């Protein structure tokens, strides 16, 4: 993983002839020092076979200990596969700039597939580029594709509910005071499911436990995240979970306050050697390997050879728990491993009724149960029983 952030000079300037020929050599030198990086294939350097060039675009830094780092680690994982070359660009805003980065990767680097990893890249940016480049495959991290959109767009997605459920078990078993905290970005469906599954896991071992949630209002606001963490510590919670883009500030602040933390996206254990318990961590490399195998088999999303949505969780190896911290007991580790095994074999479904929200209303009836890809779960707009907070 490259943790050095560098200056970015948009290469589209070269492509569009906005620089004179005399300036081209200088631009090329600057590009070599930009935040756009290339990783050569792991194959035989003497091979004349044309490499498979894949472009990856991140909205933030590759070393954010969060969403972007997890995606970048996935790209790094497939960069070692024979015949694969990765082109990356970090810190690209969700504006027309991402369109120019995609255009550059296609026209200058020869990318035949683009992975746009941030939510706001999709519409209009990925949709527009897919129209302009119908022979290129575009993959966006979401489930946002709809009928009528270009057929050369695919979605990839990881369901985190199962892992959050297990993280909630670990949090509850480690808590000494029976009061958890949770720092979240916005009360939107994926975040609410993250909070609820964490709470359901905690309640599976300690039904009377309470959890205070604080919404910061945005995905990456370090000052508010620090304030929320300190507020929860002041309220006496002893474990804090989270769902923000970069959990770094939350984990570090919790460590300073002597509060345990449950991480998210990637492994934050280096940031909190004493208080980090575990965390829900994506394994995007397994997702991307699935795509590489399909690419090499000549499959395409536009003709149905590649599924419109590649989606999974524990069973598919797309999500995992981060390493357990020193505060986690052997009994809790065993319980977590046993729970994961039950989830993988299908004998345990997180959303099994009866489940009430925090107003006492039954949201999932007794006897009903839903797999993570059930459309009913896309309608979750409530907080589970035991969560102190509001979605309004």
Q: How many other β-carbons are positioned within 10 Å of the β-carbon of residue 365?
A: 10
pLDDT at 225: 98
Interatomic CA distance for residues 385 and 392, integer angstroms: 16
In the structure, what pLDDT confidence band is assigned to residue 42 with cuts at 50, 70 and 90?
low
In the structure, what pLDDT confidence band is assigned to residue 30 with cuts at 50, 70 and 90?
very low
Interatomic CA distance for residues 306 and 304, integer angstroms: 5
For range 6-28, the mean pLDDT: 34
Q: Quote the distance between the C-alpha of residue 319 and its chain's center.
A: 10
Model confidence at 230: pLDDT above 60: yes
pTM of the model: 0.87
Q: Which residues contact 138 (CB under 8 A, 6 or more apart)?
A: 102, 113, 114, 116, 126, 129, 130, 150, 152, 153, 154
Model confidence at 119: pLDDT above 60: yes
Strands, E assignment, the chain:
36-39, 52-57, 84-89, 113-116, 137-141, 153-158, 179-184, 210-215, 239-243, 260-265, 276-282, 309-312, 319-321, 351-352, 355-356, 362-364, 369-370, 387-388
For range 189-205, the mean pLDDT: 98
For range 115-130, the mean pLDDT: 97
Give the angle subtended at the CA of 320 by the CAs of 314 and 322, to the nearest 5°.
160
Bridge-based pairing of strands 369-370 and 351-352 is antiparallel
Model confidence at 20: pLDDT above 50: no
Stretch among 12-16, 94-98, 195-199, 362-366 having the lowest mean pLDDT: 12-16
Distances (CA, A) of 283 to 119, 269, 318: 18, 16, 5
Residues 162, 343: contact at Cβ < 8 Å? yes
pLDDT at 18: 34
Torsion of CA 355, 360, 361, 364, to 10 degrees: 0
Torsion of CA 347, 348, 353, 358, to 10 degrees: 180
Greatest mean pLDDT among 6-10, 37-41, 379-383 = 379-383
Q: Which residues contact 217 (CB under 8 A, 6 or more apart)?
A: 185, 186, 224
Residues 353, 369: contact at Cβ < 8 Å? yes
Model confidence at 43: pLDDT above 80: no
For range 16-25, the mean pLDDT: 34
Model confidence at 5: pLDDT above 70: no
For range 301-330, the mean pLDDT: 97
Model confidence at 259: pLDDT above 60: yes
Model confidence at 291: pLDDT above 60: yes
Residues 162, 169: contact at Cβ < 8 Å? no
Interatomic CA distance for residues 174 and 330, integer angstroms: 11
Cα dihedral 68, 256, 194, 391 sign: negative
For range 356-364, the mean pLDDT: 98
For range 310-320, the mean pLDDT: 96
For range 49-54, the mean pLDDT: 92
Q: Quote the distance between the C-alpha of residue 187 and its chain's center.
A: 17
Distances (CA, A) of 249 to 85, 160, 176, 242: 33, 21, 23, 11
3-class state of residue 261 by DSSP? strand
Ramachandran quadrant class, 323 (left: phi over 0; alpha: psi -120 to 50; beta: rest)? beta
pLDDT at 392: 83
In the structure, what pLDDT confidence band is assigned to residue 11 with cuts at 50, 70 and 90?
very low
Model confidence at 295: pLDDT above 60: yes
Model confidence at 350: pLDDT above 60: yes
Per-chain mean pLDDT for the chain: 90
Model confidence at 96: pLDDT above 50: yes
Helix axis angle for 248-256 and 222-234, nearest 10°, is: 30
């Amino acid at each position: 993983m490259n943790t050095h952030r560098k200056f970015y000079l948009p290469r589209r300037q070269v492509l569009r002839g906005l620089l004179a020929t005399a300036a081209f050599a200088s631009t090329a030198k600057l590009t070599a020092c930009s935040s756009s990086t290339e990783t050569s294939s792991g194959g035989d350097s003497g091979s004349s076979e044309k490499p498979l060039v894949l472009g990856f675009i991140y909205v933030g830094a590759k070393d954010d200990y969060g969403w972007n780092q997890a995606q970048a680690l996935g790209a790094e994982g497939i960069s070692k596969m024979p015949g694969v070359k990765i082109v990356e660009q970090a810190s690209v805003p969700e504006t027309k700039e991402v369109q120019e980065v995609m255009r550059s990767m296609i026209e200058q680097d020869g990318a035949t597939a683009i992975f746009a990893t941030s939510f706001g890249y999709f519409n209009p940016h990925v949709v527009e580029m897919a129209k302009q480049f119908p022979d290129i495959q575009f993959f966006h991290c979401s489930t946002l594709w709809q009928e009528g959109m270009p057929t050369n767009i695919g979605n990839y997605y990881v369901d985190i509910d199962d892992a959050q459920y297990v993280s909630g078990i670990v949090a509850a078993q480690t808590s000494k005071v029976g009061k958890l905290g949770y720092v979240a970005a916005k009360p939107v469906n994926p975040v609410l499911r993250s909070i609820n599954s964490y709470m359901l896991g905690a309640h599976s071992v300690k039904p009377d436990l309470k959890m205070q949630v604080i919404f910061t209002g945005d995905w990456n606001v370090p000052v508010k995240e620090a304030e929320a963490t300190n507020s929860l510590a002041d309220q006496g919670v002893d474990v804090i979970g989270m769902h923000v883009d970069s959990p770094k500030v939350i984990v570090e602040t919790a460590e300073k306050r002597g509060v345990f933390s449950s991480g998210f996206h990637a492994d934050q254990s280096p940031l909190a050697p004493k208080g980090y318990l575990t965390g829900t961590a994506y394994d995007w490399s397994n997702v991307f390997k699935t795509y590489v195998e399909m690419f090499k088999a000549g499959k395409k999303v536009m003709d149905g050879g590649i599924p419109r949505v590649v989606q999974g969780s524990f069973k598919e190896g797309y999500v995992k728990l981060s390493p357990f911290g020193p505060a986690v007991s052997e009994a809790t580790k065993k319980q977590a491993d046993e729970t994961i095994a039950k989830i993988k074999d299908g004998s345990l479904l997180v959303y099994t009724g009866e489940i009430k929200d925090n107003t006492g209303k039954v949201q999932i009836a007794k006897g009903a149960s839903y797999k993570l890809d059930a459309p009913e779960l896309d309608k979750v707009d409530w907080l589970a029983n035991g969560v102190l907070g509001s979605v309004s």
